Amino acid sequence: MKILFIVLLLNLSCTMPSNYNVSNDPKLSIHSFIVDDINGKAFDFASLKGKKILVVNTASKCGLTPQYEELERLYNEYKDQNFVIVGFPANNFMGQEPGSNENIAAFCQKNYGVSFPMMSKISVKGKDMNPVYQFLTQKAKNGLEDNQVQWNFQKYLLDEEGFLVKVISPQTSPMDASIVDWIKG
Residues assigned a catalytic role: 62
Q: How far apart are CA 5 and CA 40, in angstroms?
A: 45
| Other Cβ atoms within 10 Å of 88 Cβ, number | 25
Q: How far apart are CA 157 and CA 40, in angstroms?
A: 25
CB 105 within 8 A of CB 118: yes
Dihedral of alpha carbons 89, 91, 96, 102, sign: positive
